[in-house]
Amino acid sequence: MSPHLTPPAQWAQAEFGFAQLGDQRRNQRLVNIAEHLAASPGGTLPQAFPHWAELKAACRFFGQRGVTFERVAGETGAQAQRVVGYYTARRWIEEYHKALKSGAGVEASQLARADRLEPLIAVRAVVAVRLLSTKLLARSRPESGEAAASFGPTLLALLEQKLGPPKGGWTNQNLIRAVARVGGFIGRKSDGQPGWQTIWRGWQRLMWMREGVETLQRT
């Protein structure tokens, strides 16, 4: 799994494009739902799907008999090994579960039935791992620039317009801190590194800003 903050559509395709739900349209629906959830982390389903038709389709998807945790997460040995690999750093498991419980918004999903919650959790679980990975990127390779390459010029331009160009360029650390600042992180010397909650709050706001720019360009 890539630790970069890739756009939601690209991330959803990479993480769930392998799913085999028995129907190609159902497979594509999973990718579309994952894209919406990644673009609205921590929100409720109505926030992720503001249009009634999309919300109704998502709820219907989670209620289908063929949509199970195992099929969404992957059934083959290679896919299972890939998922198990997320847990190798055991000291982060507690923080992962915290991200899944609060940051990824499982409890706020407003789904009451277990058979609908399970496939949602399968999607949110990968979102939670991605949350944690973005936090670790700035710690493990702070002076590298992989994250900037995955953001693209539009998002970098938006960050520069809002916060100004960073000293030292768009390193992983500078980029993650900038995204977190958009999400409310103050960034004082005594504050330490930003957590996954402010990073994802900032990422969501950055997605809104990009959507606004794209809307203006179409008019």
pLDDT digits (tens, 9 = 90+) for 18-40: 777 888 888 888 888 888 888 87
% of the chain exceeding 70 in pLDDT: 81
User: Rounded to an integer, what distance in angstroms lies between the CA atom of residue 70 and that of residue 119?
Assistant: 8
pLDDT of residue 80: 62
Report the chain's mean pLDDT, rounded to a whole number: 79
> Under DSSP, is residue 93 helix (H, G, I), strand (E, B) or coil?
helix
72, pLDDT greater than 50: yes
Report the Cα 149 to chain-centroid distance in Å.
17
Give the pLDDT of residue 76. 52
Backbone dihedral region of 85: left (phi > 0), alpha (psi from -120 to 50 degrees) or beta? Answer: alpha
**pLDDT at position 150:** 75
Between these two residues, 3 and 21, which has the higher pLDDT value? 21
Residue range 89-110: average pLDDT?
69
1-139 CATH fold: Serum Albumin; Chain A, Domain 1 (1.10.246)
From CA 166, how far away is CA 176, in angstroms rounded? 11
Mean pLDDT of 136-154: 82
2 — pLDDT class (breaks 50, 70, 90): very low
What residue ranges do the domains of the chain occupy? 1-139, 141-219
Q: Which residue has the tokens 């679980």?
A: 125
Distance CA 215, CA 219 (A): 7
Comparing 132 with 169, the larger pLDDT belongs to 169
Question: What pLDDT shows up at residue 107?
Answer: 67
- Closest C-alpha among 199, 112, 193, 207 to residue 152: 207
pLDDT at 124 over 80: no
User: Tokens 């059934």 correspond to what residue?
Assistant: 75
Name the band, by pLDDT with cuts 50, 70 and 90, for residue 82: low
Cα(37)–Cα(12) distance, rounded to whole angstroms? Answer: 9
Q: Residue 45 above 70 pLDDT? A: yes
> What is the arithmetic mean of pLDDT over 142-146?
85
Pick the CATH number of 141-219 from 3.30.70.360, 3.20.20.330, 1.10.740.10, 2.60.120.10: 1.10.740.10
Reported confidence tier of residue 160, pLDDT bands at 50, 70, 90: very high
Query: In this predicted structure, what is the pLDDT of residue 162?
Result: 93
Check the CA dihedral 191-134-182-195 and report its sign: negative
Which pLDDT does position 159 carry in this prediction?
94
